[in-house]
A and B are shown apart, each in its own frame.
Chain A
């Protein structure tokens, strides 16, 4: 065993150890304090809105009698006489079925959500896809915030318009595929 004549070596070692420890510990503290939780993108809110619109149409379009293929949504659309809503007319007057549908959709959606209801169908005479607005609560195209939509296709047959003389679909070739589109946005 050698006997040190001076003590320089031990001090350097101690300093080295302490310095290394300080560096290691500080780097460890810094890196473990990073909290990586990426915030939800706005896509998550959009998805929930679309689901809300889709769910509303699906539940209104659920067949409520075991023996036929009719639902609340289908019956109300069949009873529609063709009057459209506009920016001055929220729900066309005289359309009791659409007024009832408007109340029901309003109850199903949260109070700070507004909506428009449109129907899209193929016009055999003009050969174009027509869009008619049944319920109007705002101009969805020109909103500064996002509007999203959900839709449901309904097939109208001869039996559905039987007995309803004023139905808009009465004189069209059946079966008629009609798309009901619910556009919703937050206010």
Chain B
């Protein structure tokens, strides 16, 4: 039974008002919520497979790029530049050798802040992804070494991953009878087998020269009178022989740990030990650069005066040392890249 209104001058019932307001409110709310019903139908983590493949290609096949906004200098050697100049992350040695990663780039990658590396891998666009990266190196003695392990906590249910077979390249140099290798120069052994010499093209290169001695034959230690010499001079003249100063111009490392040259007299060396003689070329070249001289040869000697039996036994591999002097040069089949096989695993998920 309706209301009985005596006065018909256009009053509205409260009832009617309330009803209409509620109706309009509900109607507008529904209209506003309808687009939200279609949100799950937008592309959302559907293309993770292509994203992870693209990221793995960037890491394994692209050398990366840096740009200096101030000077305009750019290039692929981003591992030696400031992080602020990094434009694109890539670990390959260069674009002509895919799947070969440069060790320096892998080491530098661990010092890049995570968000910057993610952005420079192209994972921060309309959709944002996070990544995790693991690079393992397979060493010749069947052990695995994890070089890089960048991971992020994730609560994503949809993660895509890819494995790439890669090669880790540390540099190039001479494998001295498949045991010793020399990085930074070319080695030769002279006829009386007293010394191991490393030749390099006369240049102002400041790359350190590393001579690694392995496969020691004497197990009860003491290599006395160890000395390192280098030859300095203009290339067209007979170079002068200078003895290198231990501690500033050259360093000894036994199995990666610093060792004093005086310890060589009593520390025993096993067959599996490695002795690295690293010459600090920056210091040595700086000493002679102003005179226009440069270092052409480095020589390692165990005894300043020739005592044959001691010397022949002192060097790790005597079979090569007793041969006639041979010029090892770039075409020698033992001059190779220092490559190790490895595996790179990339994972990507949407945040």
Chain A contacts for B160, CB-based, 8 A: 40, 44
Query: How many A-B Cβ pairs are below 8 Å?
Result: 105
Interface residue B15 (Cβ < 8 Å from any Cβ of A): yes
**What residue in chain B is nearest A35 (Cβ atoms)?**
B40
Instruction: Check if A20 is an interface residue, CB within 8 A of chain B.
Output: yes
Q: Are B335 and A66 in contact (CB under 8 A)?
A: yes
What is the minimal beta-carbon distance from B332 to any residue of chain A, in angstroms? 8
Asked whether any CB of chain B lies closer than 8 Å to the CB of A155, the reply is no
List, in ascending order, chain B residues with CB within 8 A of A47's CB.
49, 53
A65 touches B40 (CB 8 A): no
Is B100 a contact partner of A62 (Cβ separation < 8 A)?
A: yes
Query: Is the Cβ of B49 less than 8 Å from the Cβ of A2?
Result: no
Tally of contact residues, A, Cβ under 8 A: 41
Q: Identify which of B33, B49, B165, B331 contacts A55 (C-beta below 8 A).
A: B165
Stretch at the interface among B19-27, B62-70, B79-87: B19-27
User: Which residues does chain B contribute within 8 Å of A16, judged by CB atoms?
Assistant: 19, 22-23
With contacts A44-B49, A59-B99 taken as known, whether A51 is within 8 angstroms of B162 at the C-beta atoms is yes
From B29, B30, B164, B339, contact of A64 by CB (8 A): B339
Indicate with 1 or 0, residue by residue over A1-16, a CB within 8 angstroms of chain B CB atoms: 1101110111001001
Q: Are A2 and B13 in contact (CB under 8 A)?
A: yes
By the criterion CB–CB under 8 Å, are B49 and A51 in contact?
Answer: no
Contact of B46 among A20, A38, A58, A63 (CB under 8 A): A38
What is the chain B residue whose CB lies nearest that of A61? B99
Q: Are B44 and A10 in contact (CB under 8 A)?
A: no
Q: Output the nearest chain B residue to A70 by Cβ-Cβ distance.
A: B333
Contact flag A66-B4 (CB < 8 Å), given A2-B11, A20-B26, A24-B26: no
In the complex, residue of chain A having the shortest beta-carbon distance to the beta carbon of B338? A64
- Expressed in whole angstroms, the minimum distance between the Cβ of A90 and any Cβ of chain B is 23
| List of A residues within 8 angstroms of B95 by Cβ | none
Chain B binding surface SS class: mixed
Once the chains are docked, how many angstroms separate the CA of A27 from the CA of B26?
Answer: 14
The yes or no answer to A89 lying at the interface (CB within 8 A) is: no
B157 partner residues in chain A, CB cutoff 8 A: 37
| Complex CA–CA separation, A58 to B14 (angstroms) | 82
Bound-state CA distance A142–B44 (Å) is 38
Q: Is the CB of B41 within 8 A of A36?
A: yes
Could you tell me the distance between the alpha carbons of A102 and B15 in the complex, rounded to whole angstroms?
88
Determine which of A17, A37, A62 lies in contact with B99 in the assembled complex, contact meaning CB atoms within 8 Å: A62
Neighbour of B18 across the interface among A6, A13, A40, A64, CB < 8 A = A13
Name the A residues within 8 Å of B37 (CB-CB): 27-28, 31-32
With a cutoff of 8 Å between Cβ atoms, the chain B residues found around residue A86 in the complex are none
A65 contacts B167, C-beta separation under 8 Å: no
In the complex, A47 Cα to B52 Cα: how many Å?
12
Contact A59 B341 (CB under 8 A): yes
- Chain B residues within an 8 Å CB radius of A27: 37
Q: Are B15 and A4 in contact (CB under 8 A)?
A: yes
A143 at the binding interface (Cβ < 8 Å) = no
Additional 20 contacts, C-beta under 8 A, given A27-B37, A31-B37, A36-B40 = A1-B14, A2-B13, A6-B1, A13-B18, A13-B22, A16-B23, A34-B40, A37-B45, A40-B49, A40-B160, A44-B160, A48-B163, A51-B164, A55-B164, A58-B99, A59-B99, A59-B100, A59-B341, A62-B167, A64-B336
Residues of A within 8 A of B (CB): 1-2, 4-6, 8-10, 13, 16-17, 20-21, 24, 27-28, 31-32, 34-38, 40, 44, 47-48, 51-52, 55-56, 58-59, 62-68, 108
Q: List 23 contacting pairs A-B, 8 Å CB cutoff, sorted by A.
A: A1-B14, A4-B3, A5-B1, A5-B4, A6-B1, A9-B15, A13-B15, A17-B22, A20-B26, A28-B37, A32-B36, A32-B40, A36-B44, A40-B49, A51-B164, A52-B165, A55-B99, A55-B165, A63-B97, A64-B336, A66-B335, A66-B337, A67-B335
